[in-house]
Amino acid sequence: MLDLENALPSLINSDYNGYIVSQAYPFIYNDPVDNTSTKNGLIIHFTNGSRIVYRLSGTGTSGATLRVYIERYVTDDLLEDPETMLKDLSDISRQIAEIPTRIGKNIPDIIT
């Protein structure tokens, strides 16, 4: 995650099969009650409104779980299979974070 965070500025304007990165930054939650700030993931926005969010979750039995959230805004084809609709972004998410080479995964363990 640290390597990906350090690479975020260099992703701006990168073109991944027509998905062009418009913004890339860490998500920081600023608590209004105790004024603490917590880094809670990395967000990559594309010019077409799509985005990829990477988060680590330590709720597993060992180590951390990498959670990848993929969003694509559409107004048509609403009955199409979500996995089919998000396949390109799913592939891009693995490429950007170098998931296959870093953790050896080519497909996710769980899709929800």
- Partnered with residue 44 across adjacent β-strands are 24, 52
Give residue 61's pLDDT band: very low, low, confident or very high (50, 70, 90).
low
In contact, 71 and 51? CB cutoff 8 Å:
yes
Q: For residue range 5-20, what is the model confidence (pLDDT) as tens digits?
A: 999 999 999 999 999 9
Which pLDDT does position 60 carry in this prediction?
A: 56
With CA atoms as reference, report the closest residue to 99 among 57, 67, 58. Answer: 67
Q: Above 90 in pLDDT, residue 34?
A: yes
Average pLDDT value over all residues in the chain: 89
Distance CA 12, CA 75 (A): 26
Mean pLDDT, rounded, for 46-56: 95
* pLDDT of 71: 94
Averaged pLDDT for residues 28-49: 93
Q: What pLDDT, on the 0 to 100 scale, is given for residue 84?
A: 86
Predicted model pTM:
0.86
Provide the pLDDT confidence category of residue 80 given band limits of 50, 70 and 90.
confident
Give the pLDDT confidence score for residue 59 in this predicted structure.
Answer: 61
